[in-house]
Amino acid sequence: MPRESGSGPESMALMRGTKTMEQIETGAEGVTASPCTACKPGTFSSTLGELSCTKCPQGASTEGFEGYPQECKICPLGLVTDEEACAIEVCLSNEYSNNGTCEKCDTVMSTIVIFGSLLTFLFAAQYVKKIAGGTSNGRQKMIRLKILSTFLQTTEITTMVKISWPSIAFFAMPFKLPTANFACMIGAASNTFVSYAYFMNSCGVLGLFALFFVAIRCSSRNFTLQQSLVSALLFLMILWYTPVLQNTAQWYDCFEDEARGGRSYMVSEPNNYCGQGSEGFDFDSPFFIGMTTGFISLFVGVGFPAFIVWKTKELKRTDKLNAESTFAFLYENYSPSVPYFEAIHFLRKALLILLMTVPSFLRSTLESVGVDASVVQALFSLLVNVGFFFIVWKTEPLVYFPCSLLKNRNLNNLAELVGCGATIAGNLLALIGSFSPYSQGIVNVLGTIFAIVNLSFVVVFFFGFYLDMKRTNKEKQALIERSQSSAEEGGVTSFSRGSDIAEKLAKSVKDAELDFDGMLVTLAVLEGRRKEEVIAELPFYRSHVALALKKELLKTEKDREVKELGGDLKVTLTEYRNLLGRVNAAVAIHTGREISDFKGLEDIAKDNKLEFCQKTIASLEASGGTLQKAPRIVKKLSSIGLTNELEMVANPMSTGKATQL
């Protein structure tokens, strides 16, 4: 902050960006305003009339005015924008700090930004509500969204390394909380208002989640709506996890400003002083708000991963780790061997943010022993992401989806590994920049490369993933059509069902059945470890079929007053029962389990107390209905040279352990 010496114990401090002068106590000696050397930016003259200028050390800026004694001011790490001043701006009440520059608040635009951000999250939640728990294509869309959001969040954490990132480095950072716009919208005239902006990013979002909880409780009688709301809430909580921890990290990332009495102020918001002092426990004190925000972050940072591990283990122990659970969103995209992997994602992000915050908090201590905090930050983040890369490589956590370019490889895990690789590339750039934090030219180049790498990954990932998935689906469809052409007369698979029957079935049921049969076709061309992975996932695909049937039975029960016992309903329920029986038999064959381990259609109706559906299904069984034997898929597939392993039982409703024919 430029300082002008006066003629007494008081001097004037000019705060850049405010264009106002503020009286501060300095105790400086009076100095006559005699001419002296006019030093260039980055150099200084500490004595009046000195003939030469001395270059400021790296990381410092010139402080003072031409014609007066000058000195070099050491800027807080990562806050040097040029050789003339630090990137610390103390702004007016109608201004906000944007990367070290005071800019005028635009209340209208700030409002648009805030509500635009909220709408983005709501649209994302609606999108998740639409695709969650759906077909395999829906699951693939969800996996693509999760991989992309994880990459963007971890990339944004990389920018917490304390180097002077250029503004272009923050390009494509959709999860950055707009705290400056909050401050503008509510009026940043006082510290308290800015504090509440940070406070709302933690507590305010909890209020939104509370509304979701109320809606979920109120929809207890509507299973479909309740499951959709839970999926949307869990997705929003996953998105919120990283920003709320970063919010707390910003709150405790402070610097001491000697010109303002040596008080600590936030690096991200220099107008806002940190809650470090004797402000007390008043509700509106920064200290109280900082403690509250920290507690919430600790609860979220540790509580979310712990809950996921506990819940998935409990569901696995009770054999309920399936699509019918309201918590299926947490694990449905992961292999049955590591259903808790979302918790590892959480812990990775929490560890990254912690390792970014601690060196910054201990900056002065590290510098006293000759260690640069930014180097420590960059090195730790690199090690964490490299470690995560090898964990993904070893565990292959995501569900199997064939890659058309690399045969017998999992497209989902390959995409996750590429995302980790792009993040590691960003860490390496940050590490290089940390060795020259004040060489702005070098950092600008590194920041530009960083932005290019991130944007390139997003574009290549989005279109590459989409094209490969489309190509794989086309190949799978070709296999399905070939197997369909070889189907026996009277078959009832999704490949060969007659159109007159198919049109009576719900689309969600047909889609779930087609996904299951598609996995059987995929299984037919796999071998070794990949085949075992798909076999392990078959029970979950079976649960998708059961879930779709459950929803249809619930709808039938709701509309029972207009339903008749006979006609289309009789045919539809008969087909549903045969369909689920065939799926149960297929899973029993490949997993070696008993058919009795898997519930039939009547069991689903009974468990959900659907009396009308239960009576209707029982009457079909009593009258014999129109049961058909499942086709022998082995003949269809072996006739086109695919496999000789996928035999189905002749009677899908038989009991006992399924045996191959």
pLDDT band, very low/low/confident/very high, at 603 (cuts 50, 70, 90): confident
414-448 confidence digits (pLDDT tens):
989 999 999 999 999 999 988 875 677 788 888 88
Is the Cα torsion angle 318, 306, 153, 394 positive or negative in sign?
A: negative
Q: How far is CA 583 from CA 25, 64, 579, in A?
A: 82, 80, 6
Q: For 205, phi and psi rounded to 5 degrees?
A: -65, -35
pLDDT band, very low/low/confident/very high, at 173 (cuts 50, 70, 90): low
Burial class (CB in 10 A: 0-12, 13-18, 19+), 505: buried
- pLDDT confidence of residue 425: 93
Share of the chain above pLDDT 70, in %: 55
Instruction: Tell me: pLDDT of 163 over 60.
Output: yes
pLDDT band, very low/low/confident/very high, at 139 (cuts 50, 70, 90): confident
- pLDDT confidence of residue 86: 46
How many angstroms separate the CA atoms of 25 and 386, rounded? 51
pLDDT band, very low/low/confident/very high, at 479 (cuts 50, 70, 90): low
Q: Averaged over 507-513, what is the pLDDT?
A: 83
Instruction: Tell me: pLDDT of 33 over 60.
Output: no
pLDDT band, very low/low/confident/very high, at 653 (cuts 50, 70, 90): very low
Q: Tell me if 620 sits within 8 A of 570, measured CB to CB.
A: yes
Instruction: Tell me: pLDDT of 359 over 90.
Output: no
Q: Say how many C-beta atoms besides its own lie within 10 A of residue 77's C-beta.
A: 25
Name which residue leads in pLDDT, 320 or 386.
386
Instruction: Tell me: pLDDT of 335 over 70.
Output: yes
- pLDDT confidence of residue 2: 37
How many angstroms separate the CA atoms of 210 and 233, rounded? 10
Name which residue leads in pLDDT, 535 or 278.
535
Instruction: Tell me: pLDDT of 458 over 60.
Output: yes
Give me the residue label for tokens 């999860």: 175
- Mean pLDDT is highest, among 60-64, 266-270, 451-455, 637-641, for 451-455
Closest C-alpha among 485, 487, 484, 542 to residue 516: 542
Instruction: Tell me: pLDDT of 348 over 90.
Output: yes
How many angstroms separate the CA atoms of 404 and 400, rounded? 13
- pLDDT confidence of residue 20: 32
Question: Among 45-49, 419-423, 457-461, 586-590, which is the least confidently predicted range?
Answer: 45-49
Q: Tell me if 593 sits within 8 A of 587, measured CB to CB.
A: yes
Q: Averaged over 628-640, what is the pLDDT?
A: 38
Q: Averaged over 245-249, what is the pLDDT?
A: 78
| Full DSSP string of 366-406 | HHHTT--HHHHHHHHHHHHHHHHHHHHHHH--BPP-B-SSS
- Mean pLDDT is highest, among 88-92, 136-140, 611-615, for 611-615
Name which residue leads in pLDDT, 464 or 544.
544
How many angstroms separate the CA atoms of 506 and 489, rounded? 23
556-565 confidence digits (pLDDT tens):
877 765 555 4
Closest C-alpha among 469, 595, 483, 605 to residue 539: 595
Instruction: Tell me: pLDDT of 532 over 50.
Output: yes
Q: For 416, phi and psi rounded to 5 degrees?
A: -65, -40
Q: Averaged over 650-661, what is the pLDDT?
A: 34
Instruction: Tell me: pLDDT of 37 over 60.
Output: no
Q: How far is CA 441 from CA 108, 169, 447, 448, in A?
A: 35, 14, 10, 11
How many angstroms separate the CA atoms of 280 and 287, rounded? 7
- pLDDT confidence of residue 381: 93
- Amino acid identity for residue 552 in this structure: E
Closest C-alpha among 360, 349, 203 to residue 290: 203
Residues 6+ apart with CB under 8 A from 260: 24, 90
Instruction: Tell me: pLDDT of 39 over 70.
Output: no
Q: For 32, phi and psi rounded to 5 degrees?
A: -75, 145
Residues 6+ apart with CB under 8 A from 201: 177, 179, 182, 243, 244, 247
Mean of the per-residue pLDDT values for the chain? 69
Residues 6+ apart with CB under 8 A from 89: 16, 17, 97, 100, 101, 102, 270
Name which residue leads in pLDDT, 449 or 94.
449
How many angstroms separate the CA atoms of 312 and 536, rounded? 16
pLDDT band, very low/low/confident/very high, at 354 (cuts 50, 70, 90): confident
- pLDDT confidence of residue 289: 63
Secondary structure (3-state) at 279:
coil
Name which residue leads in pLDDT, 658 or 365.
365
Q: Averaged over 140-158, what is the pLDDT?
A: 85
- Mean pLDDT is highest, among 1-15, 608-622, 632-646, for 608-622
72-96 confidence digits (pLDDT tens):
544 444 444 444 444 444 555 566 6
Name which residue leads in pLDDT, 566 or 594.
594
Which tokens go with 83?
Answer: 């050789």
Instruction: Tell me: pLDDT of 589 over 80.
Output: yes
Name which residue leads in pLDDT, 424 or 625.
424
- pLDDT confidence of residue 635: 38
Question: Among 145-149, 358-362, 563-567, which is the least confidently predicted range?
Answer: 563-567
Q: Averaged over 43-70, what is the pLDDT?
A: 49
- Amino acid identity for residue 134 in this structure: G
Q: Tell me if 292 sits within 8 A of 203, measured CB to CB.
A: yes
Instruction: Tell me: pLDDT of 184 over 80.
Output: no
Question: Among 49-53, 327-331, 590-594, which is the least confidently predicted range?
Answer: 49-53
Q: Tell me if 504 sits within 8 A of 492, measured CB to CB.
A: no
Provide the residue ranges of all domains of the chain, joining segments of one domain with +. 3-74, 105-134+180-328, 136-176+362-468, 486-638
How many angstroms separate the CA atoms of 631 and 620, rounded? 21
User: How many Cα atoms are found within 13 Å in the side-chain-facing hemisphere of 340?
Assistant: 16
Burial class (CB in 10 A: 0-12, 13-18, 19+), 421: middle
- Amino acid identity for residue 252 in this structure: Y
Instruction: Tell me: pLDDT of 332 over 80.
Output: yes
- pLDDT confidence of residue 54: 60
Q: Averaged over 4-16, what is the pLDDT?
A: 31
Strand partners, 13: 3, 22
Category of 304 on φ-ψ map: left (φ > 0), alpha (ψ -120 to 50) or beta: alpha
Q: How far is CA 99 from CA 77, 112, 168, in A?
A: 14, 21, 11
Share of the chain above pLDDT 90, in %: 9
Question: Among 412-416, 432-436, 519-523, 637-641, which is the least confidently predicted range?
Answer: 637-641
- pLDDT confidence of residue 352: 92
How many angstroms separate the CA atoms of 643 and 165, rounded? 57
Q: Averaged over 461-474, what is the pLDDT?
A: 74
- Mean pLDDT is highest, among 82-86, 171-175, 192-196, for 171-175
Question: Strands across the sheet with 3-4, in order?
Answer: 3-4, 10-15, 20-25
Burial class (CB in 10 A: 0-12, 13-18, 19+), 638: middle
- pLDDT confidence of residue 299: 83
370-380 confidence digits (pLDDT tens):
777 788 889 99
Q: How far is CA 324 from CA 39, 315, 333, 506, in A?
A: 74, 11, 14, 18
Closest C-alpha among 70, 73, 68, 97 to residue 83: 73
How many angstroms separate the CA atoms of 625 and 374, rounded? 73
Closest C-alpha among 191, 197, 201 to residue 263: 191
Q: How far is CA 617 from CA 17, 553, 571, 646, in A?
A: 77, 11, 11, 29
Question: Among 13-17, 170-174, 326-330, 557-561, which is the least confidently predicted range?
Answer: 13-17
Name which residue leads in pLDDT, 280 or 576.
576
Q: Averaged over 581-602, what is the pLDDT?
A: 85
- pLDDT confidence of residue 17: 34
Distance of CA 600 to the CA centre of its chain: 37
How many angstroms separate the CA atoms of 43 and 38, rounded? 10
Instruction: Tell me: pLDDT of 13 over 60.
Output: no
pLDDT band, very low/low/confident/very high, at 132 (cuts 50, 70, 90): low
Bridge-based pairing of strands 101-104 and 95-98 is: antiparallel
Instruction: Tell me: pLDDT of 461 over 70.
Output: yes
| Full DSSP string of 125-152 | HHHHHHHTTS-HHHHHHHHHHHHHHHHH
